[in-house]
Chain A
């Protein structure tokens, strides 16, 4: 392969990596917006308690929720289509953190994840430069940290007994704790096992497959028992996580150690 065609191939592979991440995150952003429109509608209702982080913080109003949703929609569309990608990603980061901090009931783990990784994905390119290597690697490390701490947090007697999943799934697998105990153990092994599987070049495909199975199983297991908002939340969380898998390539490649300049002026 000539140097020129090799360079083109590398460039194509690189572009597809960041594009895959952005497309996946863009869809997760729109899905999460749909979920949050339902949440906004319930939380700004008169019969619901306000739970601000700070007592002096103004209560969320329907107008405030509408403004946030409109900015979210426009910037998610721009982010997904790659137009004004960096500005859209930065605006999205600010908007999502605004939503997160407006009321404690607006918190969700996948919204927090999106608020962290979308700005990183907006500013990363697969151009072999140091900045992109660092940003892409941060997305990868972020996803691996989510699996690590999600797995570690479940290493407690209550979860491993199966009772948490029994309550969450509304007894869809029967009233005996045994199947839930097995599911609980399986989910901990899967979450902690994802890290080495995704990191190693030879096993990354198994890691991707396991991730799809893990998130798909979460959605399938709770499908009949959970309300629509919870189902959307689980689907969006899985989509956001899986969208970030290609970013692990930056970490594997060691591009964060790149010696290529990051748009630095010449000496």
Chain B
């Protein structure tokens, strides 16, 4: 095998790596909120106070941060944030957020 045979392969692997490293952050930029794999650290504020867990006794639990070991903004912007809270609070009836109310299925 000659050196000239290796060069295109090395460059192709590098090009794929770079394409992924550009595509993921570009997708993140086009999306509102904070995304992983996109280098969006500190770019937006917390949404955590906007989650409200409704319990059967009518109480509303708002401190989501307490149940997340590390309060990461990326998690709060995940589409399934409400479902995660439903599964964590077995007694929860629903989870309200800025985007609407999700009824917890039991």
Contacts and interface: CB of A to CB of B under 8 A. Distances in A.
Interface in A151-179: 152-154, 156, 158-159, 163-165, 167-168
A47 B42 contact: no
Given A104-B78, A134-B14, A262-B3, A48 B68 contact: yes
A192 to B, nearest CB: 13
Interface of A is mostly: helix
Contacts of A164: 42-45
A145 B1 contact: no
A148 to B, nearest CB: 8
A145 B21 CA distance: 8
Given A109-B39, A153-B25, A153-B38, 10 more contacts: A49-B67, A49-B68, A105-B72, A116-B21, A130-B10, A137-B14, A158-B45, A164-B43, A167-B46, A262-B3
A168 B42 contact: yes
A264 B17 contact: no
Q: How big is chain B's contact interface, by range? A: 35 or more
Nearest to B74: A107
Contacts of A11: none
Contacts of A264: 1-3, 5-6
A50 B60 CA distance: 21
A212 B74 CA distance: 26
A116 B21 CA distance: 10
Contact of A47 (B43, B67, B84): B67
B39 A153 contact: yes
Contact of A152 (B29, B74, B78, B84): B29
Contacts of B14: 134, 137-138, 256
Given A138-B17, A145-B22, A164-B42, A262 B69 contact: no
In this complex, which of A43, A105, A165 has the most chain B Cβ atoms within 10 angstroms of its Cβ?
A105
Contact of A45 (B44, B45, B69, B75): B69
A107 B72 contact: yes
9 closest A-B pairs by CB: A43-B69, A261-B3, A149-B25, A153-B43, A49-B88, A153-B40, A42-B69, A48-B69, A264-B3
A20 interface: no
Interface string A47-60: 11101000000000
Contacts of B2: 264, 267
A149 B45 contact: no
